[in-house]
Structure 1
Amino acid sequence: MLDVVELKNKVLNNYIVTREDALELVNADLNELAKQANEIRKHFCGNSFDACTIINVKSGKCSENCIFCAQSIHHDTDIDIYPLIDADELKRKTLMLYDSGLKRISYVASGKSVSDNEFIELFNLIKELTDEYGDINLCVSLGILDDKQIRMLKKAGVDRIHNNLESSEDYFTEICTTHSYSDKLKTLDMIDCENVMVCSGGIFGLGETFEDRIDLAIELRQRSVKSIPINVLNPINGTPVENNEILSNDEVSRIIAIFRFINPDSYIRLAGGRLLLGDNGRKAFQSGANAAILGDMLTTDGLKLDDDLKLLDELGFKIVY
């Protein structure tokens, strides 16, 4: 039987957790596992907390068939559909968030990729904002990108680009068949080659196994990903997973703790589905998570900013940018 405290101490001394180690953590006592994962977080990351918020800059009519996504044209869902937000309106929305104290903001667009015209519009606005506001941090999630686009985004001032792997390579074909895992890996490689921070994680509750979750965590470690979003499936009516059971708070905490053991110095970010946990993420933050998306998600509501800030203060976190 694996000794969780002993494994934690080995991680503190730079031991690399193996797949076999991680599989044993699946059956470890949750309270002990969470406690030791949080000790790893404190050792490698202190009380630093990475907060971001997102703006859905283009919604719906996505050509891809990801089984969880309300924005896919393959699913009959009731969401707002709109083209790329006008630059003036997007700037207004961005500055509202910035003025509220949220300095890291991510632009998220539906679709496998954005058109050339859409890309240029976003590029120009990002450059304008980063030139005008020196402490604003802008990220993007624009699907599959090429190396020229990544270089341009870096030049405009983008310091982090998001592209979720979603799950293990073995399970990915159960999630999406209109693009491949290798498409995503190539994008992550190009982002890394341009020395832009990679943000990549997964969505959990799709029917994947703990083996799939662990394989994803190891894949992210092998690529030195330091921003790892943990999304909990919020089953949307009209999607193929509308009847999936919502993960329990305990299972989410176990996922986060195992990810922390495997990725000891990364920002492990509570993202979509945090509202489903019932405690605003308190237990997850005490299991090794040290980052979150604050405010609303893409197609679902988030939590009130004041409530989030109060919780983070109670837990001793300090937001850094």
Structure 2
Amino acid sequence: MNIINQLENKIYKNENINLQEYLNLSKVDNLKELCKASNRICKKYNNTKIDLCSIMNAKCGACSEDCKYCAQSSFYNTSIKSHSLVSKEDALKLAKENEKLGINRFSLVTSGAALKGEDFENILEVFKYLKQNSNIKLCASLGIISYEQLVKLKEAGVTRYHHNLETSRDNFSNICTTHTYEHRIQTILKAQKAGIQVCSGGIIGMGETMEHRIKMALDLKKLQIKSIPINVLTPIKGTPLENTPKLSYEEILRTIAIFRFINPKAFIRFAGGRLNMEDKGERGFLSGINGAISGNYLTTNGNGAKDDVKMINKLGLKLIHN
């Protein structure tokens, strides 16, 4: 029995798999068989249902953090167009458009280390307005905020908080120095304590190793994260990572498969960078992916929601609806 089958059977038996075994799995030559096994695991625990969500860039630019991948950081000159917090009317318009297309979730995302003060109070009102006037599930991504703020978000109708780990603990300082990996972990724990589901993943293609990715996936498993977005870096001119070589599609699929082996019951979703894939990610949906962020992202373009729904129908998969 090869290592793919060995570890697949371990998953079904709920047996422990160690870091070295995952590293060995990541080096198998037969990528096709690895992806098939990943897809079998996905189907066993999640059937053929696909969870689509969409995000809105609710406050853009002038970020105090130095994350090396980000066009919104004030440390870099990327010619990004900044804007203040969106109105509740604009937020509702986009939420309703996504709801009509069959998108399951809608998130407001703001730049900066944390949303505070008047901006936070205003976004609470936006969420309350969305809750009253739409049926789409609401998510938030507002940075490193407090437990008390998270409780208020839940009361306003937010059911999921998005907060990426971005990379592994031992690689984090190579990506960001203005806050720590532990800050992110603590925010996730506070959200869970407040009774809010957590969506957390990271970015691949930032020069990290496969071991870094596996360690991040293992931390997500330890945190019991059930929604894991995988972003593929789109190098942005003006950021320190602008000349980073792009990952091959095969490397992306291999990473997806490994994440599925580590987190068999999670919704592992395509996020940023999918437009750079030759088939807009179609092979990913047959390799362990069972979710996606549709529409435009924060500072890059994403796959259109209509196109995603069409692709999912073509593959014989079904959407999760409210």
- TM-score class, shorter: over 0.9
- In the other structure, the counterpart of 1:113 is 114
Q: Distance in 2 between matches of 1:257 and 1:148?
A: 37
- In the other structure, the counterpart of 1:145 is 145
Structure 1 residue 81, shift from structure 2 partner: 1.0
- In the other structure, the counterpart of 2:318 is 318
Matches within 5 A, 1:145-224: 145-224=145-224
- In the other structure, the counterpart of 1:278 is 278
CA contact (8 A) 1:12 1:43 kept: no
CA contact (8 A) 1:126 1:138 kept: yes
- In the other structure, the counterpart of 1:75 is 76
1:171-227, Cα deviation, whole Å (9 max, x unpaired): 000000001111111100001112211100010111111110000000000010000
Q: Distance in 1 between matches of 2:179 and 2:2?
A: 39
- In the other structure, the counterpart of 2:303 is 303
Structure 1 residue 2, shift from structure 2 partner: 4.9
Partner SS, residue 319 of structure 2: strand
2:109 maps to a residue whose letter is V
1:19-48, Cα deviation, whole Å (9 max, x unpaired): 111101111121111110100000011111
Partner SS, residue 252 of structure 1: helix
- In the other structure, the counterpart of 2:89 is 88
Partner SS, residue 65 of structure 1: coil
CA separation of 1:235/1:114 partners in 2, compared to 1, >3 Å: closer, same or farther? same
CA contact (8 A) 2:53 2:106 kept: yes
- In the other structure, the counterpart of 2:249 is 249
Q: Distance in 2 between matches of 1:175 and 1:218?
A: 19
Where has structure 1 moved over 4 Å in runs of 4 or more? none
CA contact (8 A) 1:37 1:287 kept: yes
Q: Distance in 2 between matches of 1:34 and 1:136?
A: 32
Structure 1 residue 316, shift from structure 2 partner: 2.3
Matches within 5 A, 1:13-162: 13-28=13-28, 29-133=30-134, 135-162=135-162
Q: Distance in 1 between matches of 2:157 and 2:91?
A: 17
TM-score normalised to structure 2 length: 0.96
Structure 1 residue 299, shift from structure 2 partner: 0.8
Q: Distance in 2 between matches of 1:90 and 1:310?
A: 25
Q: Distance in 2 between matches of 1:194 and 1:317?
A: 33
CA contact (8 A) 1:68 1:241 kept: yes
TM-score normalised to structure 1 length: 0.96
Q: Distance in 1 between matches of 2:101 and 2:6?
A: 43
Structure 1 residue 142, shift from structure 2 partner: 0.4
Partner SS, residue 279 of structure 1: coil
Q: Distance in 2 between matches of 1:123 and 1:99?
A: 23
1:117-176, Cα deviation, whole Å (9 max, x unpaired): 11111111211221333x320101000010001101111111100000001000000000
Structure 1 residue 303, shift from structure 2 partner: 1.8
CA RMSD after TM alignment? 1.3
1:282 maps to a residue whose letter is E
CA separation of 1:281/1:77 partners in 2, compared to 1, >3 Å: closer, same or farther? same
- In the other structure, the counterpart of 1:287 is 287
1:279-302, Cα deviation, whole Å (9 max, x unpaired): 110121111010000111111111
1:12 maps to a residue whose letter is Y
More off after superposition, 193-202 vs 165-174: 193-202
CA contact (8 A) 1:160 1:197 kept: yes
Q: Distance in 1 between matches of 2:100 and 2:282?
A: 26
Q: Distance in 2 between matches of 1:276 and 1:74?
A: 26
CA contact (8 A) 1:55 1:107 kept: yes
Matches within 5 A, 1:230-249: 230-249=230-249
Q: Distance in 2 between matches of 1:15 and 1:131?
A: 45
1:284 maps to a residue whose letter is G
1:183 maps to a residue whose letter is H
The percentage of counterpart residues that share the same residue type is 43
1:107 maps to a residue whose letter is L
Partner SS, residue 159 of structure 1: strand
CA contact (8 A) 1:228 1:269 kept: yes
More off after superposition, 79-88 vs 270-279: 79-88
CA contact (8 A) 2:88 2:130 kept: no
Q: Distance in 1 between matches of 2:90 and 2:217?
A: 37
CA contact (8 A) 2:294 2:303 kept: yes
Structure 1 residue 115, shift from structure 2 partner: 2.2
Q: Distance in 2 between matches of 1:21 and 1:164?
A: 25
Structure 1 residue 91, shift from structure 2 partner: 2.5
1:262 maps to a residue whose letter is I
